[in-house]
Each structure stands twice: as structure tokens, then as C-alpha cells.
């Protein structure tokens, strides 16, 4: 059930360029229908969908903000960093993406090999196939596990096999958080720490992360995410105030069947938090 109101801004979603179910053009059409006026496409470690989304947005009279969700590491913790308003031809960012994509390819083979030992037939080849030329993610493997009846549902696929510490898990180095922030800035963009409540961190580690993020030039926290609970929004807003960060809002839309992260269904950013989109140029 979705109770969040409609937001005119949605700065986090995924297309078939990574682990989303819809093409970039389909997402733009769906977002426009949902009342979104400013949309950022933020696929995992790729800009491949941005061109198609931008063309569709122009035709629909909607503002498309070029974006990306980078897989990064801070200390030993894997985190997600959203870059918004980036120049999609910026050399340092493109080099960083090439490295992340190399790591994804390597990890795909390793995850596939583990799952094949669990009896999942042709796991590697089928995950690559399911990604249709886009970045291969654990989402693609989760789909296979459900399809083959190895796991009852998508969440169980992560809980039982694909999540950290589970038998189908393969870690990756990704890239240091500070490097990724620098690439986004060099590309003219703003750096947003994605879904801060989703990381399993103790409170003192979380505080150190926020300080490190701010000290490295991080711009904003995703305060309102698809499916955020009120106490999660309060905690993120409180952190944004204490660390002097702006706020972002993003559904993290992947698939129309996930009603809790529907396009444009987001709680409003608290009034005293500076919206990160005010910092971005206007796109048309």
C-alpha cells in the first residue's frame, strides 16, 4: 500500500540500463503520468540510459537530471552514492565507471559460480542475459533464484543467499567514497548519500560516516526515500541539519510491482532542509 503523497521531484530511479524493469523512455512516461516534473535517472554504475531518458523527457516537457548511483566503499562498508546533474562526458567519472563495470563483470562470474554450485543451472549466463546488455546486479540473480524455486520470493533470495555473509555473497572493493565524490564534483554534479537508513551501521559508525562524507565535500543526504518510515525521515533530516547537508528525495523505483517505491510517491522534504535540486541547473 502506498500512502505517500505525490512529489513533483524524484531524484533516484533505475531503468533496464541496470536493475530496473522499464526502459528509460518508459520510466519518463510513467513519471510524467505520476505528476513528476523533475526526474533523475540514477542507474547503478552506468550512464547508458541517460541519453534515451533525456530525449523522452524533452518530448514530454519534463526536466531530466542526468544521474548515476555509484557503488562505493567507506572503510569496509559498501555504500551507494548518487551523483546528480553530472556532465555525462566527464573523463574522471567515465574512468571511474569503467572500473566499477569491470568489478561488476568479475563479481557476476563469481556469484554465478557460487550459485551454480547450489544447483542453479547456467546462473552466470542467465543473469547476463536477463540484464539485456545493462549492468548485472544481484537483483538479476535474485530473479533467477525465485524463478527456479530455490527461494520463495525476492526478499528471501537476499536473506538466504545473496545478502552480506550469505553463501552466495561476493564482496567487491568498489571505489573509495572520497574518490567518487571528487569524480561527481569534477563532472559538475552534486554528491548525495543514498538511502542513509539502509546501511547496517552502529550509531557511532554512522556519525563517523556522516562526518567523513561532509569532510570529503559530500553535498546532500537522501532524506525521503521510497518506503521511508517517518522515524527514518526524522533521523535523516536531523543528520542533515547537524552536518550542514542539503536534502534529496528519491523513490529508488525499480519495478512497477514494488508499490512502496513508486515513481514520485515521496514524503515532502522538511521545510528547513535546503533542497539539493535548488543547486542544480534547470534542465528542460
Binding stretches for ligand AMP (CB under 6 A): 19, 44, 71, 137-139, 154-155, 158, 254
Nearer to ligand AMP, 158 or 183 (CB): 158
Maximum pairwise Cα distance, the chain: 53
Nearer to Mn ion, 91 or 155 (CB): 155
Is 80 a binder of Mn ion (CB under 5 A)? Answer: yes
Nearest distance, CB of residue 137 and Mn ion, angstroms: 6
- Compute CA distances 31 → 37, 39, 224, 248, 253, whole Å: 8, 8, 17, 17, 10
What residues are paired with 38 via a beta bridge?
A: 9, 63
Is 19 a binder of Mn ion (CB under 5 A)? Answer: yes
Number of Cα atoms under 13 Å in the Cβ half of residue 82: 32
Q: How far apart are CA 96 and CA 212, in angstroms?
A: 20
Q: How far apart are CA 151 and CA 257, in angstroms?
A: 18
C-alpha cell at 132: 539485456
Nearer to Mn ion, 18 or 124 (CB): 18
Question: Which of 97, 227, 252, 275 lies at the binding interface for Mn ion (CB under 5 A)?
Answer: 252
| Binds 158: which of Mn ion, ligand AMP, none (CB < 5-8 Å by kind) | ligand AMP
- Window of 32-40, 68-76, 174-182, 234-242 that interacts with Mn ion by CB under 5 A: 68-76
Strand blocks (E) in 26-160: 38-41, 63-74, 77-84
Nearest distance, CB of residue 63 and ligand AMP, angstroms: 24
Binding residues (CB under 5 A) for Mn ion: these are: 19, 69, 80, 194, 252
Amino acid at each position: 500500500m502506498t500512502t505517500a503523497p505525490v512529489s513533483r521531484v524524484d531524484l533516484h530511479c533505475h531503468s533496464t540500463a541496470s536493475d530496473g524493469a522499464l526502459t528509460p523512455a518508459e520510466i519518463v512516461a510513467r513519471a510524467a503520468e505520476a505528476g513528476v516534473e523533475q526526474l533523475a535517472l540514477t542507474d547503478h554504475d552506468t550512464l547508458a540510459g541517460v541519453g534515451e531518458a533525456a530525449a523522452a523527457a524533452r518530448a514530454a516537457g519534463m526536466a531530466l537530471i542526468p544521474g548515476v548511483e555509484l557503488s562505493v566503499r567507506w572503510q569496509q562498508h559498501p555504500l551507494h552514492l548518487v551523483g546528480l546533474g553530472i556532465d555525462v562526458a566527464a573523463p574522471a567519472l567515465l574512468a571511474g565507471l569503467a572500473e566499477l563495470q569491470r568489478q561488476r563483470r568479475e563479481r557476476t562470474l563469481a556469484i554465478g559460480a557460487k550459485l551454480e554450485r547450489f544447483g542453479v543451472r547456467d546462473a552466470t549466463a542467465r543473469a547476463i542475459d536477463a540484464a539485456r546488455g545493462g549492468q548485472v546486479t544481484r537483483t538479476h540473480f535474485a530473479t533467477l533464484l525465485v524463478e527456479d524455486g530455490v527461494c520463495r520470493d525476492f526478499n528471501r533470495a537476499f536473506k538466504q543467499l545473496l545478502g552480506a555473509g550469505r553463501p552466495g555473497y561476493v564482496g567487491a572493493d568498489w571505489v573509495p567514497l572520497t574518490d567518487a565524490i571528487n569524480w561527481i564534483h569534477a563532472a559538475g554534479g552534486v554528491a548525495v548519500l543514498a538511502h542513509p537508513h539502509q546501511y547496517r551501521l552502529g550509531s557511532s559508525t554512522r556519525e563517523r560516516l556522516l562526518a567523513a562524507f561532509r569532510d570529503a565535500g559530500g553535498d546532500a543526504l537522501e532524506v525521503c526515500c521510497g518506503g521511508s518510515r517517518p522515524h527514518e525521515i526524522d533521523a535523516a533530516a536531523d543528520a542533515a541539519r547537524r552536518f550542514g547537508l542539503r536534502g534529496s528525495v528519491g523513490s529508488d523505483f525499480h519495478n512497477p510491482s514494488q508499490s512502496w517505491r513508486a515513481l514520485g510517491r515521496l514524503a515532502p522534504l522538511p521545510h528547513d532542509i535546503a533542497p539539493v535540486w535548488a543547486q542544480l541547473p534547470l534542465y528542460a
